[in-house]
Amino acid sequence: MDWIADFLFAAVPWPSSVNGSMVHTRFLGAYKGAAENIKAAVDNLVQKYPDYKIVLTGHSLGGAEAALAAGDFAIKHPEWISKIEAYTYGAPRVGNTVFSNWLSSQPFLIFRVNQSDVVSQVPLGVLGYQHHAQEVWYNTNDQLNFCGSNGEGAPGQNSLTALQMWFLTYLQYPGLGYEVWYLFVDSLKVIF
């Protein structure tokens, strides 16, 4: 179902406090489906451990949800901003340029780890979607590069042609084990 959500491109206004900001409707729906429980759990943990960081992370659709959570937390809990860090892996583009620039300008760490992964190319930029910054790029030689504050700049994913993108790279991010393969196979069973 995650794959189906990735390829439906409709955008909706979000967050309401950022004029002109639009995000992928299915990504936002997936986040909102879990948001209240997540925020309640994080609120309890922040009260219990006030000196700890709030680290948001996710792969693929989970990365899109982590980016949305970071923005949501920044708006609804400005007292948490100094605690927030977000790390996404192989995340698709979440929103338009307004959203991307707004999220990139927030005063917390947000890193978008990427490699020659075809999933990170959707939704297409020509449809108005743009990645947020800071891209951390693993190039084809497994060299790590920080690509500056532009979410779509070189030498990151935009340095590759479509023929250099590889589907299997999506399943080969550092720290992902064979369980990702099992989840992928199970998702194929659901689709077909």
* Structural domains of the chain ordered from first start: 2-191 (3.40.50.1820)
**One of 2, 6, 72, 117 is an active-site residue; which one?**
117
DSSP β-bridge partners for residue 54: 84
Q: Quick one: how far is CA 75 from the chain centroid?
A: 17
Residue whose entry in the numeric block shows the structure tokens 């999220």: 103
Calpha distance 46→52 (Å, rounded): 7
pLDDT at 57: 92
Asked about 117 being catalytic, the answer comes back as: yes
Check 60, 100, 116, 120 and give the catalytic one: 60
Paired tokens of 147? 């690509």
pLDDT at 121: 77
Nearest C-alpha neighbor of 121 from the set 88, 90, 80: 90
Burial class (CB in 10 A: 0-12, 13-18, 19+), 117: buried
Active site residue 16: no
CB atoms within 10 A of CB 189: 7
Structure tokens at 138: 């693993």
Cα(74)–Cα(61) distance, rounded to whole angstroms?
A: 20
Q: What is the pLDDT along the chain (192 residues), one digit of tens a residue?
A: 555 554 557 899 999 999 999 999 989 999 999 999 999 999 999 999 999 999 999 888 899 999 999 999 999 999 999 999 999 988 899 999 999 999 999 999 998 887 767 777 778 788 889 988 887 776 666 667 667 666 676 666 666 665 555 555 555 565 555 444 445 444 444 443
- d(C-alpha 15, C-alpha 185), whole Å: 34
Instruction: State how far the Cα of 191 lies from the Cα of 154, in Å rounded to an integer.
Output: 35
> Which pair of structure tokens corresponds to residue 89?
């892996």
